[in-house]
Amino acid sequence: MSKITDKSLAEKGRKSYQWARDNMPALVTTINKTAEEFSFKGTKIAVCLHVTKETSVLVMGLKELGADVYLSGANPLSTQDDIAAYLDSEGVNVFAWRGQNDKEYQECIDATLDVEPEIIMDDGSDAHITLHQNQKYEKNNVIGGTEETTTGVVRLEALEKSGKLKYPIIAVNNAYTKHLFDNRYGTGQSTFDGILRSTALLMAGKKVTVCGYGWVGRGIAARAKGLGAIVSVSEIDPIRAIEAVMDGFDVKPINELAKESDIFVTATGQKHVIDKNSIRNLKDGAILANAGHFDLEIDVAFLQDVAKNVKTIRDNLEEYELDNGTKIVLVAKGRIANLVAAEGHPPEVMSMSFSNQLLGAVKIKLDHKKLKGLIDMPKEIDYKVAKHALEGMKINIDTQTQEQKDYGESYVI
Ligand X SMILES: NC(=O)c1ccc[n+]([C@@H]2O[C@H](COP(=O)([O-])OP(=O)(O)OC[C@H]3O[C@@H](n4cnc5c(N)ncnc54)[C@H](O)[C@@H]3O)[C@@H](O)[C@H]2O)c1
The residue ranges that bind ligand X (CB under 6 A) are: 149-151, 179, 182-183, 187, 211-217, 234-237, 240, 267-270, 273, 291-293, 336, 338-339
Segments in 162-297 forming alpha helices (H): 176-178, 187-199, 215-226, 238-246, 254-260, 276-281
Give me the least distance between CB of 245 and ligand X, in Å please: 13
Residue type, 158: A
> Toward ligand X, which CB reaches closer, 271 or 372?
271
Give me the least distance between CB of 194 and ligand X, in Å please: 9
**CB hemisphere CA count around 79 (13 angstroms):** 30
Give me the least distance between CB of 98 and ligand X, in Å please: 16
> Toward ligand X, which CB reaches closer, 165 or 339?
339
> Toward ligand X, which CB reaches closer, 12 or 240?
240
Q: Is the dihedral of CA 36, 41, 45, 49 positive or negative?
A: positive
Name the residue number minimizing CB distance to ligand X: 214
Query: Residue 272: which region, alpha, beta or left (left: phi > 0; alpha: psi -120 to 50)?
Result: left
Beta bridge partners of 170: 146, 375
CA distance 109 to 86: 19
Residues 6 or more apart whose Cβ sits within 8 Å of residue 201: 287
Give me the least distance between CB of 385 and ligand X, in Å please: 17
- Classify residue 11 as exposed, middle or buried by CB count within 10 Å of its CB (0-12, 13-18, 19+): exposed
Residue type, 391: E
Closest to 170 measured CA to CA, from 115, 129, 122:
122
Give me the least distance between CB of 242 and ligand X, in Å please: 12
Beta bridge partners of 46: 70, 120
CA distance 136 to 320: 41
**CB hemisphere CA count around 292 (13 angstroms):** 26
> Toward ligand X, which CB reaches closer, 115 or 236?
236
Give me the least distance between CB of 49 and ligand X, in Å please: 11
> Toward ligand X, which CB reaches closer, 122 or 262?
122
Give me the least distance between CB of 37 and ligand X, in Å please: 31
> Toward ligand X, which CB reaches closer, 92 or 291?
291
Beta bridge partners of 211: 234, 266
Neighbours of 243 (CB within 10 A): 16
> Toward ligand X, which CB reaches closer, 29 or 78?
78
CA distance 330 to 318: 5
Residues 6 or more apart whose Cβ sits within 8 Å of residue 36: none
- What is the chain's length? 413
Give me the least distance between CB of 109 and ligand X, in Å please: 17
> Toward ligand X, which CB reaches closer, 29 or 80?
80
Give me the least distance between CB of 186 and ligand X, in Å please: 7
> Toward ligand X, which CB reaches closer, 10 or 296?
296
Q: Considering just the CA atoms, what is the radius of gyration of the chain in Å?
A: 22
Q: How many helices (H) and strands (E) does the chain have?
A: 18, 15
Give me the least distance between CB of 25 and ligand X, in Å please: 21
> Toward ligand X, which CB reaches closer, 184 or 365?
184
